[in-house]
Amino acid sequence: MSNNTNIYRQIFELIQSYNTIILHRHIHPDPDALGAQGGLQRLIEANFPDKVVYTVGQIPENLEFLGVKTSDIRFGHYQQALVIVLDTANQARIDDQRYNLGEKIIKIDHHPATDPYGDVQWVEDHRSSTSEMIVQLSHELGNDFKMTKEAAELLYAGIVGDTGRFLYDSVDANTFYYAGQLQEAGVNTALIGRNLDQMPLKVAQLAGYVYSHVNINENGLAYVDLTNQLLRKFNVDSDESSMIVPLIGKIEEVKIWVIFVAQADGTFRCRIRSKEVTINHVAEQYRGGGHHLASGAKVHDLSEREALLESLNHLLENE
């Protein structure tokens, strides 16, 4: 299925040669970051019962149902440990900066390679998700690294999360092939799909508000303000508000959209999405980055916010 054989063996041999393995992923984790992290943990534990595998980084309450835990480890644990960083393009966004203390570091990621790091890097930015890459790793290694139902559940959640349920253009034949393998491993795909798709009533009510107040201009640029006041009114926290992001894309007239999430320090986290026009180079100009059609950025004040919207509008004008 692939001509990348060396990288799988290289990663496998490193896993084989370390007794302690510590898995990191990005801050503000989504189901793909957690799915790849927890899925790889379960795979290593099942195939190498004598190894100790830790997963670190904070977990938002709304994704606790996935069952990935934060290991309580100290500096000493990193001595003679292999660190694998998943789904994280740049070092600044690695949750838990102790990753650097590992004896060897492997990067596995599907974002554009803006910040190469680690002793071994496996980066493919056309892949749907890092979870899909972990399924492939298992597939390519065959009997040496067999899939289990427990790992498959998390990896399937990761693929569903990062593809919006197989909706985005990063989905290809590999995605369906590996998702099929996960179903064969015993995953209840309907249950996981439902768990990731449903939202608490309070978030649905906030969605109702957002749908009636979204700003859309004549070029198809939309933005929504999730102010502290609004989040308080609906009792929705910043992590839970992530469910609002894909909803704006369901509006036919919208081509690019930004969700501004007000932060406690007065800055705005910007969650930028696009249906077809590449946006990550704009996100990079505002302390961010990401995928071609799904990026994040940070603006300091209202004038920077306007400038970001203007840059995005410009993309649509020049289409």
Query: Binding residue for ligand AMP (CB under 6 A) from 295, 299, 305, 309?
Result: 295
Q: Does 104 bind ligand AMP (CB under 6 A)?
A: no
Query: Binding residue for ligand AMP (CB under 6 A) from 18, 288, 308, 309?
Result: 288
Residue 278, sorted as left (phi over 0), alpha (psi -120 to 50) or beta, turns out to be: beta
Q: Name the residue whose CB lies closest to ligand AMP.
A: 296
- CA–CA separation, 287 vs 242, rounded Å? 19
List the x/- string, 55-94, binding to ligand AMP by CB under 6 A: ----------------------------------xx--x-
Structure tokens at 204: 């649905």
Structure tokens at 54: 């830790």
Q: Does 294 bind ligand AMP (CB under 6 A)?
A: yes
Q: H helices of 48-167, where?
A: 130-141, 149-163
Kindly state the smallest distance separating residue 245's Cβ from ligand AMP, in Å.
Answer: 6
Kindly state the smallest distance separating residue 183's Cβ from ligand AMP, in Å.
Answer: 25
Burial level of 66, CB count in 10 A (0-12/13-18/19+)? buried
Query: Binding residue for ligand AMP (CB under 6 A) from 31, 102, 158, 290?
Result: 290
Residue nearer to ligand AMP on the CB measure, 38 or 82: 38
Residue nearer to ligand AMP on the CB measure, 249 or 289: 289
- CA–CA separation, 144 vs 72, rounded Å? 29
**Angle between helical axes of 149-163 and 189-197 (0-180°, round to 10):** 40
Q: What are phi and psi of 57, to 5 degrees?
A: 110, 150
Kindly state the smallest distance separating residue 145's Cβ from ligand AMP, in Å.
Answer: 26
Kindly state the smallest distance separating residue 72's Cβ from ligand AMP, in Å.
Answer: 26
Residue 286: how many CB atoms within 10 A of its CB? 21
Query: Binding residue for ligand AMP (CB under 6 A) from 298, 304, 307, 313?
Result: 298
Q: Does 26 bind ligand AMP (CB under 6 A)?
A: yes
List the x/- string, 109-128, binding to ligand AMP by CB under 6 A: --x-----------------
Q: Does 271 bind ligand AMP (CB under 6 A)?
A: yes
Judge contact between 78 and 102, C-beta under 8 A. yes
- CA–CA separation, 298 vs 288, rounded Å? 6
Residue 228: how many CB atoms within 10 A of its CB? 12
Residues that bind ligand AMP (CB under 6 A): 26, 28, 30, 89-90, 93, 111, 271, 287-291, 294-298
